[in-house]
Amino acid sequence: MKLLDIYARMKKDIAYVERELESSVYSEHAMLKETSLHLLKAGGKRIRPVFVLLAGQFGKYDLQRLKHIAVPLELIHMASLVHDDVIDDANTRRGQLTVKSKWDNRVAMYTGDYIFAKALTVATQLSDPRIHRILSKALVELSIGEMEQIRYFFRTDQTLRNYLLRIKRKTALLIAISCQLGAVASEASDDVCDSMYAFGYNAGMAFQIRDDILDLTGTEKELGKPPGSDIRQGNITLPVLCALRDPAIRSELLAEIERIRLVDGQTDVTPFLRIIRSGTYIGEADRLSSNYIDRAIAALSGLPDIRAKRDLVQIAHFIGNRSY
């Protein structure tokens, strides 16, 4: 498995970032330390740090600088997940209890605030003002994305554009700037930084589309949560939008979504999943995801043919095909 090879080769630096992540959220405040470490220990693919480290190889690779990008980006991602859990009424994530269900909503909100703030203190160790401008703008977009998500819950009249803009803000942008800032912090040329942004943006779009597909096609064991979690929260994703365009099932699907909405998602969603899994809707969503992967790889074309470039191509292919 090529992806594992890449992680294996970067193992030492990833482990270093992992230790820095842990020490970054260290607090004398017992509960914040506990909630933050609980989140960190829940794991995750650490895809943002990996992108930062790979992007850094297109300039002067310096782990001591790159950690000040990799750690904040993973922390910001984590903080946004905690705030999402407050909203989502999610009780588990990655098979673990969420902060909000293990403690309460207030603790989850303030833990998110704390981790956001900690992320910033780490980033401010770098003086380049571009870094802070890029980061703070992304935070604005991220918060708009969070708000948009609520606004479009159960909205079956939303457009493909609404969906794409939402996943851009929610996911793709943070991955895009992981790549971009890894290059910026390594003093790569502007062209390289722009290419890395384009790569990350497209890979991030594909990543989220795959995520949304897996929520509809995966099993509870694969996902660490029951399939159909998105629709239970009211989150209308790409395959659902594709299905809504099909006149043959549109009214049945609308009725099913309305049934789920009326009970606030507290119901068996098997009939909904059956409709979405029928037909070609998953396949259509998959094709759009593949398009983004193609664009991600194309964005790398002007870059020097170093191993990190081949690694990024591998990761892009993995994202396009991943089934977990």
Which residue number, 121 or 280, has a Cβ lying nearer to a copy of itself? 121
Q: Binding residues for a copy of itself, per CB under 8 A?
A: 27, 29, 31-32, 83, 86-87, 105-107, 109-114, 116-118, 120-121, 123-127, 129, 132-133, 135-137, 139-140, 142-144, 146-148, 150-151
Least distance CB 276 / a copy of itself (angstroms): 26
Least distance CB 161 / a copy of itself (angstroms): 14
The terminus-to-terminus CA distance of the chain in angstroms comes to 14
3-class SS string, the chain: CHHHHHHHHCHHHHHHHHHHHHHHCCCCCHHHHHHHHHHHHCCCCCHHHHHHHHHHCCCCCCHHHHHHHHHHHHHHHHHHHHHHHHHHCCCEECCEECHHHHCCHHHHHHHHHHHHHHHHHHHCCCCCHHHHHHHHHHHHHHHHHHHHHHHCCCCCCCCHHHHHHHHHHHHHHHHHHHHHHHHHHCCCCHHHHHHHHHHHHHHHHHHHHHHHHHHHHCCHHHHCCCCCHHHHHCCCCHHHHHHHCCCCCHHHHHHHHHHHHHCCCCCCCHHHHHHHHCCCHHHHHHHHHHHHHHHHHHHCCCCCCCHHHHHHHHHHHHHHHCCC
Least distance CB 82 / a copy of itself (angstroms): 11
Which residue number, 148 or 194, has a Cβ lying nearer to a copy of itself? 148
Which residue number, 114 or 207, has a Cβ lying nearer to a copy of itself? 114
Least distance CB 103 / a copy of itself (angstroms): 10
Which residue number, 251 or 266, has a Cβ lying nearer to a copy of itself? 266
Least distance CB 109 / a copy of itself (angstroms): 6
What are the phi and psi torsion angles at 282 (to 5°)?
-60, -40
Least distance CB 292 / a copy of itself (angstroms): 24
Which residue number, 143 or 158, has a Cβ lying nearer to a copy of itself? 143
Least distance CB 114 / a copy of itself (angstroms): 4
Which residue number, 151 or 287, has a Cβ lying nearer to a copy of itself? 151
Which residue number, 147 or 298, has a Cβ lying nearer to a copy of itself? 147
